[in-house]
Structure 1
Amino acid sequence: MKARNERSPRRTAGRGALLLGAAAMALSGCDLAPTYREPSYLLPSSYQGSGPFKLARPGDALPRGPWWELFGDPELDALEVRAVRDNPTLAAVAEQYTQARDLAAEARSGLFPQVAADGTLSRSKRSQGRPYPGTAVGTNIATLNQIDGAARWEPDFWSRIRNQTLLQKRLAQADAADLASARLSLQAELATDFIAIRGLDTEIEVYKQSIGFYQKAVDITRLRFLGKISSGLDVARAESQLATTQALLTDTVANRAVLQHAIAVLVGADPSSFVVASGDVGRFAVPEVPVGVPSSLLQRRPDVAAAERRMAAANAAIGVSRAAFFPDITLSAIGGFQDTGFDLASLPNSLWTVGATAFLPLFTGGLRRAELQRSWSQFRQTRDDYRATVLGAFQEVEDGLTLTGQLSTERAQQRTAVQAALQAQNITLQLYTGGLTNYLDAVVAQVTALTARIAEVEVQTRQLQASVTLVRGLGGGWTVGSLPTENGVLPFHPLAITGSDREPRPDGTGAGTEGASRPPGE
């Protein structure tokens, strides 16, 4: 019976510890953030715009990979790869993603105990001339050696640290989606500019052909003027038409040079030494872009994914603001050895301190409530931004569908106009040579033919660029599955001895693997 009485306090203490642990676990699971639900929209079953495409089924979507290969130009393929690799602006966006990942790791560190070690070796001497020396006897020289360790941990009773970590993880996911958006924007801009420079190349060739024809007309008018068959007015009109077209050619060459400089910057090259070889816009293949169904668009746009992740982060921020109304509790412990010599391993020379602190602001002048209201407002703002992004995404797709469909028809119509204009140009020059009409009719026919040919090239260029716009609007083959998970954005494990100092690649796949070389200061 006596033995039972001796074990009773131990059992009571054990039960108390278990109850305390259970209470701590229950409190640590108290999440004050609102339950987050991804937004949903009632979407139409098909797009309103129409293009030269087959009817879309749910499985018909732009495949992942190098979408620019749909245009069938090897030089464009090489430039796209080079741009993703060397563009400095894209590299800067990749660094933003790296920093967001590290911020998530910093926030996560608060969930774990912080352990530190300290050591002191000192020998000191007091001054004989110090004020108030007192009557203390003994030597003025003292030695103090000390080693100790300290641990500090803040139990996350109100999920403040967890929500802060979740907030940073979701912001890192948003930055990963921003990186994908920047990459897609770069690829689309490069493709658009490259198609434009091919259009200018074709226009230059049209101008050169027209200049040759106009030079022939000048020669004819001069011969007729020397033969007293026509007046000098015809010569002046022919020379004016020739000079005007030469000026248009010079302007187009200058525009091509400027556009070439822009492409050089996109691929990270020096504009002074970068050259894009001449080509024909007609050599591009007009791609058939599978548009999919509207319900799949929200899963294929990185900007929509970024907006949704920022809304989820703002939801977690509400939990952080709510936790500020509850006390912060910190557990700490310090232990070590202290001696005037080097007998630091002796138990009598040990020292320790164990304690707990709790902090609860009682009056802050409305600070915490203002922070909570601001958090709710920020959440509503991200919700509105998400809706605006979704509407903008559908607008881009509808614009692309409308333009590709209408420009295809316009191109066929313009081709008919070119054939008729060229025929009228040849006939009027023949009639003028035979003296059956005046040269004004020939000039009008020449202007009409040149205008029609340039318009045809412009329509062809715009049609190809509209296809790029449509591909960009559909996400360029990106899917939400490409987005790293919330834990996938973390750059390393908290218990890892070595960390990763490798940069994320511009393709958004993230940093290096565990076990990489140890970064400075890690």
Structure 2
Amino acid sequence: MRFFAYSRFAVLFVGAVSLTLSGCDLAPNYKVPHYIYPNGWAGKGIMSNAKPADSVPRGKWWKLLGDPTLNQLEGKMLASNPDLQAASEVFTQARDLAKESESQLYPQLTASGKMSKNKASEGRIFHRNNNDSIVYESNEAYSGAATWEPDFWNSIRNSTRLQKNLAQASAADYALTRLSLQAELASDYVALRAIDAQLSVYDDSVRYFRAAVEITRLRQGGAIGAGLDVSRAENQLYAALAAQDRLQASRQVMEHAIAVLLNTVPAAFHIKPIKDSHMHFGVIAIKAGVPSTLLERRPDIAIAERHMAAASRAIGVSRAAFYPHITFSANGGFEDGGFDLASISKAFWSIAVQAVEPVFTGGLRRAALQRAWSQYRESVDNYRSVVLSAFGDVEDSLSQTKLYHQEQLHQHQAVEAALSTQAMTMALYTGGLSNYLDALVAQQDALEARLQEVVAQSSQLQATIRLIRALGGGWQVSDMPKIKDIDPFGPLQYENLDRPKDVADIKTKPEENVNNLSASVQTAHKP
């Protein structure tokens, strides 16, 4: 009875100590760095302290371009792109690692049982046929065991929080991958339509150049033009045809890149070209005001911040290594040489408490702690670097969208002037009032101006897409899964464990036909 009284006292004492020490968090107090920005940035750049909530497109931002084909392609890409689905699996694995770490907070229970029927050899040593030594023997045993390590120094809790912070970083990485793919597809599609517009420009120019060849030949036949004019006109025509062939090759390569993004073999994919020398996209107007809340709208900044939070938890884990690790264990059961376990005398059990404190490790724990601090400071420096790069991306894109728009307006004026010059010089040549060299130069200038107008429009659209991407595409930190939602399954869930429950907007179940790489997409476009 005295033994059991002591045992109860020990259990109560250890429980009280556990409750007292379980709040001993050795991780440093984590705070996100706050940076000092120029006051209003007035006159020091394009960016200002305006709120971007009303200016940054949310959700399916590419729909603002007003192209139904692009909308269809973006939807297919989000449903079947293998890189995006792989990113969702990385997030799933991060959630499972967090759950594995969290499981160490709870007692670990095991159970075992065995039954055996054994026969001894009658030819063994010391056995005689006339003695009573046992030849047959039966054995049956059932046992259970429990081990538990109280998290006195929050080592397990900090490891769990570390893994959950990394899982949040994986969720932000998924968002970054999705935004990058969305922007890449939109950029490739705009480039494809720019090629279509340039091909239409070449079609117009080739028709004009063919007419010029006929005019020079007629003038040569009438002895009022030189053969040199004919050869110059033919050179201009064939050079334009050659450039058109090269542009067709570029279009097919761009089309192949889009097919790969859509989980489709390029040979089974085609986007019908548009026979129009102008690009018909909606105008996306984004205000120049971008505040410090950009830090909450970029997935890459969120990734760096979550890694920083995880690194702070790693310090707590390293600090806990300096304190004793205490483990409670108990096991017991029944064992009998036959098949009779009804008697309490057949029971066995043991209770143990183990405390481990490394006395001398040659600086192992101190080195680990110093490394954890260094890794934390490295993550802080990396966070600042990512923030600076983010502001640089936005500033670059804002500058480009503004100046590329001006370039587009000026280039359109250049096209009008070049076309007017081309018409006048050709009329003068036809009337015998000018030489063909002037007409040839005017034709080259008109072609180049029209091609550059398409390039200017494409560049302005590409810069707008880059700006949307630099602003996070409407994503914000609140879209990232909360710590409480990281667990991939419920506490009593033992079914449907092949895939975790969905969290936030991260889908872990792919479309049923993702293995079909031959889905042909014949798209039409109505400007």
SS at match of 2:58: coil
Of 458, 465, 470, 2:462 maps to: 465
Query: 2:157 is aligned with what amino acid?
Result: R
Counterpart Cα distance in 2 of 1:449 and 1:213: 11
Aligned to 2:400: 403
**Structure 2 counterparts to residues 302-313 of structure 1, below 5 A:** 302-313=299-310
Aligned to 1:328: 325
Counterpart Cα distance in 2 of 1:132 and 1:381: 73
Say whether residues 1:241 and 2:260 are aligned partners.
no
Of 363, 367, 371, 2:368 maps to: 371
Query: 2:241 is aligned with what amino acid?
Result: Q
Query: 1:41 is aligned with what amino acid?
Result: Y
Shift of 1:17: 5.3
SS at match of 2:313: helix
Shift of 1:58: 5.9
Counterpart Cα distance in 2 of 1:213 and 1:385: 57
- Cα deviation, 1:295-345, whole Å, max 9, x if unaligned, reads 210111111011100000011011111111122111111111111222224
Counterpart Cα distance in 2 of 1:229 and 1:375: 88
Say whether residues 1:344 and 2:341 are aligned partners.
yes
Of 433, 439, 443, 2:430 maps to: 433
- Would you say the 8 A contact 1:120–1:146 is kept in 2? yes
Shift of 1:346: 2.7
- Cα deviation, 1:15-62, whole Å, max 9, x if unaligned, reads 7754442221111221111111111112343585549xx994464342
Relative distance call for 1:35 and 1:410 in structure 2 (3 A) is same
Aligned to 2:72: 78
- Would you say the 8 A contact 1:500–1:511 is kept in 2? no
Any unmatched runs of 5+ in structure 2?
Answer: 510-527
SS at match of 1:78: helix
- Cα deviation, 1:350-379, whole Å, max 9, x if unaligned, reads 111111112222222222222111111111
SS at match of 1:187: helix
SS at match of 1:228: coil
Relative distance call for 1:506 and 1:362 in structure 2 (3 A) is closer
Counterpart Cα distance in 2 of 1:95 and 1:172: 11
**Structure 2 counterparts to residues 419-498 of structure 1, below 5 A:** 419-498=416-495
Relative distance call for 1:424 and 1:228 in structure 2 (3 A) is same
- Would you say the 8 A contact 1:414–1:455 is kept in 2? yes
Aligned to 1:300: 297
Aligned to 2:525: none
Aligned to 2:101: 107
Shift of 1:289: 2.1
Of 260, 266, 271, 1:265 maps to: 260
Shift of 1:77: 0.8
Of 17, 23, 28, 1:29 maps to: 23
- Cα deviation, 1:488-508, whole Å, max 9, x if unaligned, reads 111123344446433577984
Query: Does 457-466 or 491-500 show the bigger shift?
Result: 491-500
Shift of 1:441: 0.7
- Cα deviation, 1:180-236, whole Å, max 9, x if unaligned, reads 000000000000000000000000000010000000000011111111112111111
Aligned to 1:172: 167
Relative distance call for 1:462 and 1:339 in structure 2 (3 A) is same
- Would you say the 8 A contact 2:41–2:49 is kept in 1? no
Shift of 1:459: 0.3
Aligned to 1:116: 110
Counterpart Cα distance in 2 of 1:94 and 1:479: 18
Any unmatched runs of 5+ in structure 1?
Answer: 1-5, 513-522
Relative distance call for 1:257 and 1:13 in structure 2 (3 A) is closer
Aligned to 1:201: 196
Query: 1:422 is aligned with what amino acid?
Result: L
Relative distance call for 1:58 and 1:134 in structure 2 (3 A) is farther
Shift of 1:481: 0.3
Relative distance call for 1:472 and 1:21 in structure 2 (3 A) is same
Relative distance call for 1:14 and 1:352 in structure 2 (3 A) is closer
Relative distance call for 1:140 and 1:350 in structure 2 (3 A) is same
Shift of 1:270: 1.2
Of 206, 211, 214, 2:206 maps to: 211
TM value normalised by structure 2: 0.90
Relative distance call for 1:225 and 1:183 in structure 2 (3 A) is same
Aligned to 2:187: 192
Of 120, 125, 143, 1:126 maps to: 120
Counterpart Cα distance in 2 of 1:90 and 1:273: 21
Shift of 1:125: 2.6
- Cα deviation, 1:262-309, whole Å, max 9, x if unaligned, reads 000011111001111223552101201245532210111111011100
Paired-residue identity, %? 50
Counterpart Cα distance in 2 of 1:121 and 1:14: 34
Counterpart Cα distance in 1 of 2:143 and 2:502: 43
Query: 1:179 is aligned with what amino acid?
Result: Y
Counterpart Cα distance in 2 of 1:59 and 1:89: 29
SS at match of 1:142: strand
Shift of 1:509: 3.1
Query: 2:24 is aligned with what amino acid?
Result: C
Counterpart Cα distance in 2 of 1:458 and 1:503: 47
Counterpart Cα distance in 2 of 1:506 and 1:485: 9
Shift of 1:347: 1.6
Say whether residues 1:98 and 2:92 are aligned partners.
yes
Counterpart Cα distance in 1 of 2:390 and 2:257: 26
Query: Does 92-101 or 14-23 show the bigger shift?
Result: 14-23
Aligned to 2:176: 181
Query: 1:206 is aligned with what amino acid?
Result: V
Counterpart Cα distance in 2 of 1:319 and 1:55: 37
Counterpart Cα distance in 2 of 1:208 and 1:506: 52
Counterpart Cα distance in 2 of 1:503 and 1:220: 73
Counterpart Cα distance in 1 of 2:438 and 2:194: 29
Say whether residues 1:38 and 2:32 are aligned partners.
yes
Say whether residues 1:142 and 2:130 are aligned partners.
no
Query: 2:250 is aligned with what amino acid?
Result: N
Of 370, 378, 381, 2:378 maps to: 381
Of 157, 169, 192, 1:162 maps to: 157
Relative distance call for 1:385 and 1:133 in structure 2 (3 A) is farther
Relative distance call for 1:483 and 1:295 in structure 2 (3 A) is same
Query: 2:236 is aligned with what amino acid?
Result: Q
